Amino acid sequence: MASQIGRKLRNFFIGKHAAQGKYLHRLIWISCISICIPILLAGIIYYQFSMDRVRQQFLDENKSTLVMMKDRAERIMQNIEQESLQLSLDPRINDFFAGRMEDAPLIWHQQLLQEITLVKNANSFIDEIYFYNNEEDLLLTNRYGAIDKDSYKHKDEIDQLMKLASGSQWLFLPAGKKEGYITFARKLPVVGSGKSGVLVFEIETSLISSFLQADTTILTKGSEMVLISYPDLFKLDAKEKGGFMKRLENLEGLQTLRTADSTIGSFYETGPDGRPAQFTYVKSMFGRTYVTVTPEQMLAGRIQWIRVVTFSAVLFFILLGILLTYFNTKRVYSPIGKLIQHSRQLGEGRIQSKADEFAYISACLDFLSSEAEKLGGYMEKVQPTLRERCLQQLVNGEYVRSELLIQECESFGIDIHSTYCVIVVEVENAFKEQRFFPKDKPIVAFAVSNVMQELLQKNELLSGYIFANHGKGVALLQWDNDAGPVRLSQAVRSFAESVNESLMSYLSFKAAIGIGRSYSHIADVPVSFREAELALQYRIYEEAEPVMYIEDLENRSGKQASFRYPREQENSIVDALAKGELEQARQSLVQFTESIRPSQSYNFIYQSYHVLLSAIITSLEKQGGSILDLLEYNLFGQLETKQTSREIFDWFNDNLFPLYHKLTEEYRSSAGQSAVLQISKYIREHSTEDLSLVQCAEMIGMSPSYLSRLFKKEMGVNFLEFVVECKVEEAKRLLLETDMNVSDIAAAIGYSERNLNRIFQRHTRMNPSIFRAEHR
C-alpha cells in the first residue's frame, strides 16, 4: 500500500514518463522552491514582527496597569500614614508623654478611645487601631477598649514593635501573615526620652488587593514594601498560598528589582513556579515597589493566535503558489513540448531520440549545423558562373575598354545590340527582424534572384539576366531597339511591382526596388546601374513607394531650394538626452527628420544625421563619458549602414538614445552617490538649522528636482524625512545629555514645542518627557 502511494506521488510530481519531461518537472520543482522560500521568509519576518509588537503591547499594558495600581495604593497608604500622624499629634497623647495626664487616666483613656474609633470607622481599610505605652503597660484598642498587654492576643508583637527605632514603618508581622493584615507602626513620642509607646494601624490586605487589582499581595522587608500582582493568586488554598508566599519572598527577580536604578522597567527571571516569567515594576518615591509577574506560559497562550494565523496564511499562500506555478509552468512549457514533438516527427530516423529535452534540442541543433555546413559547401560550389562574373563587372563599371567588354559579352552569349535597363532589388526587413544575420546577405540575394528569375521567365515582353551583386538582386533587362518605349517602360514597372509583391507574399521580404534609365549601348549599363542605386538613395525621404524610377524622382524633385541645418531641433535633442527624457528626445528627432526631409537632397539629409551624431557624442563627452569608450561602439560605421529614413530614425531611437542614457546614468550614479553622502553629512552636522532642498542643491550644483530623486534613490527616504530624522536624533541627544526643557530643545532644533511632541511621538512612540525618564 505504501509503495503504491509513493509511486502515485512520484508520478504526480516527476511525471509518469520522467524520461520524456525531465526539464519540465525540474522547472516545476525549482519554481515551487522559488515560490516557497520567499513566502516562508515573509511568514517568519511577519511572525517575529507580530510577536515583538504583541509583547511590547503586553508590556505597555502591564506598565499602564502598574501605574494605575501605584496611584491607588499610594493614595491608600498616604491616607493611612496621614491619619496615623494626625492621631499621634493628638493633645491627649502629647499631654500623657509630658506627664500631665497622671491624675485622670480613665478620662483621657476614654477620650482617646473615642478618637481612635472615629479614625478607624472613617477608613474601611483599617481593621484595628491600638495605642500602647510602657508607663501604664496598658493597651487602648478600638476592638477591646483598655486592656492589659498580657491579655492581648498579639502581645509578643507589641514587644517587637517597641524595639523599633523612632519613626514609622510598614511591617508584615507573623500574626499578620496568618490573618491577612499588614501593620503600620509609629513609635512615640517623636522626640524626648523616658516614656515610650507605639501607635499601630492594622490594615486588611484583602481589601487593599481587591481595591487595587485582583490577585495582588503585599510583601515587606525592613522599610521596603513590595506589592505583587500574580495571576490566579487567590485561587490557591491556605496551604498552597503559604508555600507560594515563601517562594515569592525568595525570588531572585525581587532581589534584582530592589537593586534596579530605574523607576520603571521590565525583565525576565525565574517565576514562583520555577518557569521563566516577565517582571514589570514601578517604584514610588516612598520606597514602595509595585510588581506584575506574568508567566511566560501566559504570554505564549495570549499570542498563540498569531502562530495559528501566520502558519495558516503561509500554508495557504504556499499551496496557492504551488498550484499556480504547476499550471502556469505546464502552460508555458506547452509550446516547447509541441516543438519537441514536432521535431521528433520531422527528424524521425535522422535524429537520435534523447531522454532529456536539452539533449534532444542540442542534437537537433547539431543536425541543423551539419545541414548548414552542407548547404555552405553547396553554395561555394555554385558560386557565380563566368557569365555572372562578367555581368557583375559590367554593372560595377570595371571594364575600361569597350573592346574587351564587347568581346567578353559575345563570348558569354550576351546580346550587345539591344536596349538595356537595370533594376536593383534590396531587402529591407530581413536583418532588422533578425530573421537573418548580416553575414547571410548572399543567401538573401540568392533567394531574391531565384524569385526574379522565375518572374522574368514568365514575362513575354522582357528578357535579360538575373544575378546577385553585393547582397542585392540585380536584373539586366533588355529588348529590341524597335520596341515602343512607352509600352516597355510600363512593362519594366510591372515587372518590378510583381517582384515586390512576390517577395512579400512568398518570402515575407519587404523590398525596395530602384529602376535606372534605359540605354541603347551595352557600355552604358553601368550608368543605368548607378541610377538604380541612386533611386534607392531617395528612400531617405521617399519611403512610401517600394518601386522607385530614377526619372520620376528627378523630375519630381525639380530645383532644390536652400535649406538650413535644423540647429534648434539638434539642441532640443541634446538637451532632452542630457536630462534623461528619452520620449522628448524622440519627439525632437521626429521634428528634426521632418525639417530636413523637404530638402530632397540625399547628401544634405545624410550629412545632417552625421552632424547630429557628432553633437550627441560631444554632449556625451561633456557628461563625463570617455571618447575612447565611445569609439569602441563605431557609431559612424553603424550609421553608414542605414539607408532609409526609417532605418536611421530607428537606429537613433532604439540604439543611440538608450546607449546615451546608459552611459550618462553610469556616470551620474558614481557622482550622485558622492553628492548625496556630502549632503547627508551636512544635514547631520547642521540639524539645528533651517535646511531646504534648494539650499542643498545649490551647494553641490544640482537642480532641486534631480537632487530630490537622487536622494530618494540613494538613501531610501526623501529629503524632508531625512531632515526630520536628523532633528529627532538631535532632540534625543539633547534630552539625554543636557538639562534643557522640552520647549528649549524644540526652539534649538527649529520646531515649536507642539510640533516637536507630535514628530517625536511619531518616530519613537513616546513623548520627549517619557523618553528622557526611560533612557537617561
Whether pLDDT at 330 is above 50: yes
pLDDT tens-digit map of 682-706: 888 887 777 778 888 888 777 788 7
pLDDT tens-digit map of 331-389: 777 777 777 777 776 766 666 665 566 677 777 777 777 777 777 666 555 545 777 88
Amino acid 358: pLDDT: 67
Q: Cα 647 from chain centroid? A: 39
**Bigger pLDDT: 678 vs 222:** 678
Angle between helices 582-596 and 657-685 (to 10 degrees): 140
- The residue-averaged pLDDT of 88-115 equals 79
Whether pLDDT at 12 is above 60: no
What are the cell numbers at 762? 511619531
Q: Quick one: pLDDT band at residue 166, thresholds 50, 70, 90?
A: low
Number of neighbouring beta carbons within 10 Å of residue 362: 12
Whether pLDDT at 14 is above 50: no
CB 102 within 8 A of CB 194: no
Amino acid 15: pLDDT: 45
Amino acid 432: pLDDT: 62
**Bigger pLDDT: 6 vs 638:** 638
Instruction: Tell which phi-psi region holds residue 103, choosing left (phi > 0), alpha (psi between -120 and 50) or beta.
Output: alpha
CB 322 within 8 A of CB 32: yes
Q: Which long-range contacts (CB under 8 A, 24 or more apart) does 15-24 make?
A: 19/355, 19/356, 20/355, 21/337, 21/357, 22/355, 22/356, 22/357, 23/356, 23/357, 23/358, 24/329, 24/330, 24/333, 24/337, 24/357
Amino acid 18: pLDDT: 41
CATH of domain 686-775: 1.10.10.60
- The residue-averaged pLDDT of 544-548 equals 75
Amino acid 628: pLDDT: 66
Amino acid 17: pLDDT: 42
- Buried b / exposed e along 296-323 (16+ C-beta atoms within 10 A): eeebeeebeebeeebeeebeebbeebbe
Q: Cα 185 from chain centroid? A: 66
For the ranges 191-195, 412-416, 714-718, the lowest mean pLDDT is seen at: 191-195
Amino acid 19: pLDDT: 40
Residues sharing a CB contact under 8 Å with residue 360, sequence separation 6 or more, in sequence order: 340, 343, 344, 351, 353, 354
Amino acid 349: pLDDT: 60
Measured distance CA(294)–CA(229) in Å, rounded: 8
Percent of residues, the chain, with pLDDT higher than 70: 82
- Which residues are registered as beta bridge partners of 290? 227, 282
The predicted model scores a pTM of 0.38
Q: What is the DSSP string of 133-169?
A: ETTTTEEEETTTEEEEGGGSTTHHHHHHHHTSPSEEE
For the ranges 258-267, 376-385, 516-525, 640-649, the lowest mean pLDDT is seen at: 376-385
Whether pLDDT at 213 is above 50: yes
Q: Is 354 exposed, middle or buried (0-12, 13-18, 19+ CB in 10 A)?
A: middle
Amino acid 240: pLDDT: 62
Amino acid 229: pLDDT: 72
Amino acid 13: pLDDT: 46
Whether pLDDT at 670 is above 80: no
pLDDT tens-digit map of 715-740: 788 888 888 888 888 888 888 888 88
- The residue-averaged pLDDT of 310-315 equals 79
**Bigger pLDDT: 246 vs 152:** 152
Q: Quick one: pLDDT band at residue 20, thresholds 50, 70, 90?
A: very low
**Bigger pLDDT: 339 vs 669:** 339
DSSP-derived pairing of the beta strands 547-549 and 511-515: parallel
Measured distance CA(601)–CA(540) in Å, rounded: 9
**Bigger pLDDT: 234 vs 295:** 295
CB 127 within 8 A of CB 202: yes
- The residue-averaged pLDDT of 419-436 equals 75
Amino acid 154: pLDDT: 81
Per CATH, which fold does 383-557 belong to?
Answer: Alpha-Beta Plaits (3.30.70)
Whether pLDDT at 1 is above 60: no
Measured distance CA(363)–CA(386) in Å, rounded: 39
Number of neighbouring beta carbons within 10 Å of residue 14: 16
Amino acid 699: pLDDT: 81
- Which residues are registered as beta bridge partners of 278? 268, 294
CB 236 within 8 A of CB 260: no
Instruction: Tell which phi-psi region holds residue 538, choosing left (phi > 0), alpha (psi between -120 and 50) or beta.
Output: alpha
Q: Quick one: pLDDT band at residue 236, thresholds 50, 70, 90?
A: low
**Bigger pLDDT: 100 vs 743:** 743
Amino acid 431: pLDDT: 60
pLDDT averaged over every residue in the chain: 77
- The residue-averaged pLDDT of 304-333 equals 78
Q: Quick one: pLDDT band at residue 235, thresholds 50, 70, 90?
A: low
Q: Residue 475's closest CA among 529, 517, 429, 519?
A: 529
**Bigger pLDDT: 522 vs 54:** 522
DSSP-derived pairing of the beta strands 419-427 and 463-469: unpaired
Amino acid 611: pLDDT: 86
Amino acid 138: pLDDT: 84
pLDDT tens-digit map of 559-606: 555 668 888 888 888 888 877 788 888 888 888 888 877 777 777 777
- The residue-averaged pLDDT of 487-498 equals 84
Report domain extents, the chain. 228-302, 383-557, 567-663, 686-775
**Bigger pLDDT: 624 vs 631:** 631
For residue 275, give the 3-state DSSP assignment.
coil
Amino acid 430: pLDDT: 60
